[in-house]
Amino acid sequence: MRILVLLTLFGFSLGNAQNTHQLKEGQQSPKATLDDVQWITGHWRGEALGGIAEEIWSPPMGESMMFSFRLVNEDKVSFYEIGHIIQVDSTLLMQLKHFNGNLKGWETKDETVDFKLVKLEKDKVFFEGLTMEKVNQNEMRVYVLIEESENPQELVFNYKRYQ
């Protein structure tokens, strides 16, 4: 609900859901390793939600790739995310937590937002409701499914490598 409120506050419009996928009932996540998604590593920035969105991804280490995200509007942090993609058995799982600009958490203490792996393509990884696509060496596109209304919509982040 908070994402929908932020979208409304910043006057952001969404596109129809075409780039994100869900696992079918009973379907298992495919086999994958962090090497399959290490192209995400780096410092990424772009305009989104009326401000500047930034993601910083670490290279694989310790069966995980950690990341931080922040959205800055009018020189103030609107919210943060911290999370990781982890190796779970023979597949990948993305998990994250949200925080207000003052670091007050959105989810409860032990709760995370989880995105199971749906499929991999060359330079593209599909998690449930979240797709990351390598456009080229210096550009990445992230699609996030917003299901807060009757019509699920996709939010698109267009990032460029920063520094």
User: 76 pLDDT band (50/70/90 cuts)?
Assistant: very high
Contact between 47 and 63 (Cβ < 8 Å): no
Domain locations in the chain? 2-161
Name the least confident of 53-67, 82-96, 138-152: 138-152
Residue 151: Cβ-neighbour burial (10 angstroms; 0-12, 13-18, 19+) = exposed
Q: Determine the average pLDDT of the residues in 8-33.
A: 72
pTM for the predicted model, two decimal places: 0.85
Average pLDDT of span 120-136: 96
Helix (H) / strand (E) containing 8:
helix 2-9
List the structure tokens of 40: 């995400």
Label residue 37 by pLDDT band (50, 70, 90). very high
Supply the pLDDT for residue 66. Answer: 98
What is the fold, at CATH topology level, of the domain defined by 2-161? Lipocalin (2.40.128)
- Residue-averaged pLDDT of the chain: 89
Q: What pLDDT, on a 0 to 100 scale, did the predictor assign at position 52?
A: 96
